[in-house]
Structure formats: C-alpha cells, structure tokens
Amino acid sequence: MPAVNTVVRSTPDLKGKLKEVFGYGQFRGTQEAIIQNVIEGHNTFVIMPTGAGKSLCYQLPALVLPGTAIVISPLIALMKNQVDQLNAFGVNAQFLNSTLSKSEINRVKKDVISGEVKLLYVAPESLTKDETIDFLQKATISFVAIDEAHCISEWGHDFRPEYRRIRGIIDNIGQVPIIALTATATPKVQLDIQKNLQMDDASVFKTSFNRTNLYYEVRPKHNTKKQLIQYVKQRKGLAGIIYCLSRKKVEEIAELLKVNDVRALPYHAGLDPHVRMANQDAFLNEDADVIVATIAFGMGIDKPDVRFVIHYDTPKSIEGYYQETGRGGRDGLDGDCLMFYSYDDIVKLEKFNKDKPVTERDNSKLLLQEMANYADSAVCRRKQLLHYFGETYPKDCGFCDNCKHPKEKFEAKDEVAMALKAVVQTEQRFGLDHIGTVLMGMNNAHIESYGHNGLPIYGQGKHHDAQFWHSLLRQCLIFGLLEKDIENFGVAKITDKGMDFIENPHSIKLTKDHNYEEEVKEEQEQEEVQQAAGHDEALFQMLKDLRKKIAKEKNLPPYVLFQDPSLKEMATTFPLKMDDLAHVGGVGQGKATKFGTPFLALIKKYVDDNDIETATDVVVKSAVNKSKIKIYIIQQIDKKMDLEEIASSKGIDMRELMEEIEHICYSGTKLNLDYYIDGVLDHERQDEIYDYFMSASTDNIAVALKELGTDEYTEEDIRLMRIKFLSEVAN
C-alpha cells in the first residue's frame, strides 16, 4: 500500500497571489470557487469552454499548496507552451516526456522530490511506467489535474485508451484530490469521465458554453480558395487560424496565402520541431498574421487577439470544431468562425475510420453525423451548439449566418405530433433514423423483427422523405420535445413537454435545412451572369492597340507579347502591380517583366480616369509550381542532357516531357534547347519554322502544322521550335 501524501491546507490570499504572479486584478466566472475547492482538498470537475481560463484553476492552487501538483496533459506542445509561460511568470514548472534526455529526466525528478517544482506536467503514457510511479511515491503531491479530461471517454471526440488507466495509477501514488477539466464534453461524456475517475462525489463547476462574441458561419465548398483569399484579405493584418485536415493541405494553403500577400506560416507534426516552434512563436509575436494548421495547433496557446478561425475542411466532430473556434476572440472582442462544408469531407473521414475497432468506428460515425447535421441545419448555430453540450438557449442569437440570413420556415404541427407518437409507440428505444423509417412506412429486417410495421403510426409520414424526418426530429430535440438518452448513445426519448404536445398539439414553425447543392448552383448562375457581362471592352481595345504598337516597334508578332485571353483578363481584373500582372493567365513573371510596364501604366491611368474600384483581392494568385520534376528538367537541360534520357529517368513519355517543358517556358523561364534541336532539325528547317512564328498571328500548333505541311514537319518539331522561339523573344 503506497504512503498517503499528506498536504497541510490553509486559506491563502488568492487575489493577492493572482495579481502578484499572473497580473490579473479579478477572477473570471467561477475560477475563485474552483480554486478554493481544490485548496480544501475536494475532488473537482470543471466543464468550462475554451478561452474561459481553465488552466488557472489548477495553476494557482499549485502555487499556494505545499508540494508538487501533477498535471496530466495529452500533448507535448501544450506542455511546453504552459511550462514556458509559467517559467516566464517566475514559477518553477517542469515537464516529463519523451523529448528529455536521461540526465534531464533525473534532474527534474530530483527537483520534484526536493519540493522545488510547483507543477509537473506528464503525459499519460509516462505515468504508466513503474519508475515514474516509484518516483512520485517519494514526492509530496498536492493534487492531480487531468487536463483535456474528455480523452477518458470512448464517447468523446479524442479518445485516448491510456487515459482510462489514470485512476488506477493515482491510487498507486496515494490518496490525493483530483481536478478534472474539459472544454468540450457532452452530458454523456461528462457522465463517463466521472464514472471512470470514480468522482461521483466531486464538486461540479459548469460554466455556460456560450461564447457570445463569436460569429458562426458555414459556407459550401465552392471556389473555396477564392473565397478564402477574399475573406482573409478583408481582415488584413488581423490574427487568424486556418485548420486543415492533412499536412499536405496545410502546406498548400499556407503557400497560397503567401503568394497572395498574406503573412502566413504552416504548423503540423511533420515539420522539423524547430521550424514548428519558430512558426508558432512568429504567430504569437505578431511576425505572422495567419497560421495554417492541423488540429494539433492551439491547445493551451494563449493568444487573446485571434480575430478569425477558419475550418478549410469539415472537422471530425462538433467537440473538435467548438474547441478550435474557441481559440478566437479570447479577449472578449468579436471573433469570426467560418467553416467550409462539403458532405464529401464527411465521406472521406468515414473512410479514414474504417480500420478502427468496431466501437470506435461506430462512435466516430455518429460524431461525423452530428457534424453534418450541424452544417445542414438552418436553425440558429448557437442554439444548436449549446444544445449539443446539454445547455438550453431559449431564443435565436441574431449573431450567426442562420440568424442573419434566415431560411424558409414551415408549419409543422401535424408532422411533429406524428414524430413524437412514433417515439412513444417504439417505446423510446431507438435513434432518429429508425423513427424516420417507421414514419415513412419502409420495411427492413430491423422493422420486422420489432414488429414496428404493425404500429398505428407506421407509414403515416410516407409523403415526406428521410431527410425531412431527420431534420424535423433534430429540431424536436433542440426545442426540448425530445431528449437524448444519456445512458444509450444515439437513442431519443420523449420529454414532458413532448407528451404535452401530443395531448395538446399547437402551431409550431420549423426551419427548412440548407440545400447546399442548390445554393452552389445559384452562385454559379450569378457568376455566369457576371462573366457574360465580361471584360471592360473599352480597356480591352486600348490594350490591343498598345500591344499592336509595341509589337510593331519591337518587330514581333502581337501574340508574343500577350495573347487575347490574357488581355481580356487584364480588362476584367485591372492588375496594377507587376506581381498581379504575372499571375494573369498566360503571362508569367518573365513576360510581365519584359513587356508589362506600359500595360500596367495604361491600366492604372484607365482606372484613375474612370474612377474604377478594382477588386484585386478577388484574383487568386496561384502558388508557382516549383515541383521537383520541373526543377530537375531545368537542371538537366542546363547540363545539355538528351530529352529522351530525361523522360526515361522520370518514367514519363516524350509527350508528357514536352508539356512540362512548355509549362516552364510559358511561366517565363528561358530554356536553351539548341543542343537537342540541332540534332533533330538542320538550320534551314529551323529558320523556316522560326520565321513562320515571327510572322504568324497565333502560336497554335495545329495552325502551324497546316501552314508548314505535315509532310515536312512533325508536331514535335514545331513544338520544339515554338519553345526556342518563345524563350528567345518572349522570355
């Protein structure tokens, strides 16, 4: 039996300590009551939204109690960040994890046993080691804090099996109080945490999940990159976080933002640890405005002025979404939370789950379905989120996309009564999908085995589809006519309010779900109308005249400067800087530098003369493709390597290689292929093709072949000479 760690507890000056160490004059919300409860040695369960100040609830009592507080935390980055912050406040905090050397671990243990360390952060995996338990038994432990306690629950969004062993490990250390903290726990998960930690006697402190300063918005994934650039540029200079599901997407979006003049950096587990920490510090120190990250970023990061949080991909759960959006507006000022949604993301995430154990897979599927329900629903976003976490919000918030742009409502008295009767007649033992199937009168093995095809309500709602019933049943939950059965995940039960409705039905207006396919279709139709309005014809004509004049002066065909589609784009987007011009289709940096100056001057004068408000922020510049194959090709051509050998070494055919070379040439890079062309075509034939392109009105290969004759030249001959010609005169 391990020794009991006895800690003498007194009543310290908490406000004085708060001011002295952390610089705050007042506690927020229930912080003081929680801290007092921990100091008095009681088990404590804290459910508090992200940004409400959870960490102070265990950091301050650790300072005023003798001994060391153990903080169990799931992420190394989170530990390091909190330890760094505490050290900066002059607090001796340390961590034990896999990043430390043997000598560093021994030093930390020695400092803990001697009583110098006030907070020791450990990963749950480290706790399971015998040597860690042996060492902790020798130390004076004030209490154990379990951060991110939702990791205990297999019903939660971030289940960690090792978290379920924590209670047994604490018992081995001695009889010490526990404080468990989470920002994202549904009623089901809250119950599971208390059961697993044997904390039924705990004082529970639950702060409202409502973050009144956050604006929630969901948009369909359509022209997402363009929407993203517009959104971020409208918030130029403000701090923001963009979450993506994959490391590859993080890199891609960070690069996209950079070329569109946004100070953005990537953050994900695949980066070198030094780079990752440097990027995080750059964001915290305002050397970067936007961090593009996987979900690993932000836990425990104390940056109060994040003004927007964007989910580029649909998150895996409402808990994850809520936690991540909660990193916005921690200073109490407004924060915008935008999510781009596509059901394809849900399908993709379901595929990722296919190799998980059955229970975990089923739970993940239910969490994804809740995420899809939230996105599809046109009910007040805040009302939905708070309901999900077991909180009632009586009115619409007026501060979300669904409140600002309400969807059509419909009278649903009869249908709601039907749905509630179906729940009662099926004995309140089933989920929403099954209830909908009964109402539609559909047949399957499940329906037959329970005899539900013989119920009075069976088939009474067959004039509506599954989507209708699912939406209606979800709204019955939000309006308190139904409730989730906490003991049985996914099951809906009727409430007293619901029973009253069956007895006395009354008018009830429900909201139609979003139909994102329809919304995207409407957007596309609008875009087509705008495109039909097209370019500024007067400017286009002026650009053509300028091109003709300069081409004549330089003794070049006009198309060598810029082709018509490029001029039309200039007359649509009004580029005013060399960088903007380089991103116009078919221009590239080389042509922009060589020919662009007079064209930019003309566009600027036209814009000023006609008082045109340009929208350069709607022009998405593409990240330059610096793929390895392109770099390799340029290097090998510089070395005068045979083209067939280059193609062979990369496992591509000659046609694919030619396309890559053309892309390089059209993006403005000069290539010297004389060494290869001289072996294929004699100088007389080269001159003939060169002269043709010099006098032609287009560089189209098909037109060139027709003009020069297919008996004389192959398509490859002409493509090679076009590269030579454009490299020499256009780049």
**Overall average pLDDT of the 14-23 stretch:** 88
The answer, yes or no, to whether residue 9 has pLDDT greater than 80, is: no
CA distance 584 to 591: 11
pTM of the model: 0.71
pLDDT in tens, 637-694: 999 999 998 988 888 888 888 888 988 887 778 889 999 999 889 999 999 999 898 8
* pLDDT (0 to 100) of residue 655: 84
Give Rg (Cα) of the chain: 32
Q: Which of the four pLDDT bands, split at 50, 70 and 90, describes residue 174?
A: confident
Torsion sign (Cα): 416, 420, 425, 426: positive
* pLDDT (0 to 100) of residue 617: 47
**Overall average pLDDT of the 138-156 stretch:** 87
The mean pLDDT of the chain is 88
Q: Which of 157-171, 202-216, 401-415, 424-438 has the lowest mean pLDDT?
A: 157-171
* pLDDT (0 to 100) of residue 523: 77
pLDDT in tens, 81-108: 789 889 989 999 999 887 888 899 899 9
In 450-544, beta strands by DSSP E: 482-484, 492-494, 509-511
**Overall average pLDDT of the 576-589 stretch:** 82
Picking from 2, 1, 6, the residue whose alpha carbon sits closest to that of residue 142 is: 6
Check: CATH 1.10.10.1390 for 628-729? yes
* pLDDT (0 to 100) of residue 616: 53
**Overall average pLDDT of the 466-477 stretch:** 95
Q: Which of the four pLDDT bands, split at 50, 70 and 90, describes residue 52?
A: confident
CA distance 482 to 387: 12
Q: Considering only the C-alpha atoms of the chain, give the largest distance between any 2 of them, rounded to a whole number of Å.
A: 101
**Overall average pLDDT of the 242-268 stretch:** 92
Picking from 76, 77, 80, 36, the residue whose alpha carbon sits closest to that of residue 56 is: 36
Three-state secondary-structure class, residue 292: strand
Residue with tokens 């309400």: 406
* pLDDT (0 to 100) of residue 529: 64
Looking at the chain, which residues constitute the CATH 1.10.150.80 domain(s)?
534-618
Contacts of 710 (CB under 8 A, 6+ apart): none
Three-state secondary-structure class, residue 27: coil
CA distance 492 to 485: 6
Task: Find how far residue 99's CA is from the centre of its chain.
Answer: 27
431 within 8 A of 470, measured Cβ to Cβ? no
Provide the CATH topology of domain 409-512: Arc Repressor Mutant, subunit A (1.10.10)
* pLDDT (0 to 100) of residue 536: 84
The answer, yes or no, to whether residue 623 has pLDDT greater than 80, is: no
* pLDDT (0 to 100) of residue 533: 62
The answer, yes or no, to whether residue 10 has pLDDT greater than 70, is: no
383 within 8 A of 399, measured Cβ to Cβ? no
**Overall average pLDDT of the 615-620 stretch:** 53
Cα 561 to Cα 535, 575, 687, 691: the distances in Å are: 19, 16, 21, 17
CA distance 179 to 204: 10
Q: Name the burial class of residue 278, with classes exposed (0-12), middle (13-18) and buried (19+) by CB atoms within 10 angstroms of its CB.
A: middle
41 within 8 A of 8, measured Cβ to Cβ? no
The answer, yes or no, to whether residue 2 has pLDDT greater than 50, is: no
The answer, yes or no, to whether residue 289 has pLDDT greater than 90, is: yes
Q: Which of the four pLDDT bands, split at 50, 70 and 90, describes residue 701?
A: confident
* pLDDT (0 to 100) of residue 373: 94
The answer, yes or no, to whether residue 19 has pLDDT greater than 50, is: yes
The answer, yes or no, to whether residue 330 has pLDDT greater than 60, is: yes
Q: Which of 16-30, 296-310, 367-381, 498-512 has the lowest mean pLDDT?
A: 296-310
The answer, yes or no, to whether residue 530 has pLDDT greater than 70, is: no
Choose from 215-219, 428-432, 628-632 the range with maximum mean pLDDT: 215-219
DSSP label at residue 458 = T
The rounded percent of the chain whose pLDDT value lies above 70 is: 94
The answer, yes or no, to whether residue 250 has pLDDT greater than 50, is: yes
DSSP code string of 593-645: HHHHHHHHHHHHHHHHHTT----GGGS-PPPP---HHHHHHHHHHHTT--HHH
Cα 651 to Cα 437, 630, 634, 663, 667: the distances in Å are: 53, 14, 17, 18, 24
User: Per residue in 466-485, is it b (16+ CB within 10 Å) or e — as a string?
Assistant: eebbbbbbbbbbbbebbbbb
Q: Which of the four pLDDT bands, split at 50, 70 and 90, describes residue 254?
A: very high
* pLDDT (0 to 100) of residue 675: 92
The answer, yes or no, to whether residue 125 has pLDDT greater than 90, is: no
In 327-381, beta strands by DSSP E: 335-341
* pLDDT (0 to 100) of residue 1: 40
Q: Which residue has the higher pLDDT, 470 or 296?
A: 470
35 within 8 A of 13, measured Cβ to Cβ? no
DSSP label at residue 623 = P
User: What is the token pair recorded at 297?
Assistant: 């970023």
The answer, yes or no, to whether residue 4 has pLDDT greater than 50, is: no
**Overall average pLDDT of the 337-346 stretch:** 93
Q: Which of the four pLDDT bands, split at 50, 70 and 90, describes residue 627?
A: low
Looking at the chain, which residues constitute the CATH 3.40.50.300 domain(s)?
14-206, 214-404
Looking at the chain, which residues constitute the CATH 1.10.10.1390 domain(s)?
628-729
CA distance 320 to 64: 33
Partners of 411 in the β-ladder: 509
The answer, yes or no, to whether residue 452 has pLDDT greater than 70, is: yes
Q: Which of the four pLDDT bands, split at 50, 70 and 90, describes residue 282?
A: very high
CA distance 359 to 155: 9
The answer, yes or no, to whether residue 301 has pLDDT greater than 60, is: yes
Three-state secondary-structure class, residue 145: strand
User: What is the token pair recorded at 426?
Assistant: 């099926």
Provide the CATH topology of domain 534-618: DNA polymerase; domain 1 (1.10.150)
Task: Find how far residue 312's CA is from the centre of its chain.
Answer: 4
Output 543-552 pairs: Cβ under 8 A, ≥24 positions apart: 543/567, 543/570, 543/571, 543/599, 543/602, 543/603, 546/598, 546/599, 546/602, 547/599, 550/595, 550/598
CA distance 14 to 20: 10
111 within 8 A of 117, measured Cβ to Cβ? yes
Provide the CATH topology of domain 214-404: Rossmann fold (3.40.50)
* pLDDT (0 to 100) of residue 528: 66
The answer, yes or no, to whether residue 295 has pLDDT greater than 80, is: no
Three-state secondary-structure class, residue 684: helix
151 within 8 A of 190, measured Cβ to Cβ? no
CATH number belonging to domain 14-206: 3.40.50.300
pLDDT in tens, 412-433: 999 999 999 999 999 999 999 9
Q: Which of the four pLDDT bands, split at 50, 70 and 90, describes residue 163?
A: confident
**Overall average pLDDT of the 14-27 stretch:** 88
* pLDDT (0 to 100) of residue 290: 96
CA distance 305 to 330: 7
The answer, yes or no, to whether residue 188 has pLDDT greater than 80, is: yes
Q: Which residue has the higher pLDDT, 367 or 77?
A: 367
CA distance 505 to 509: 12
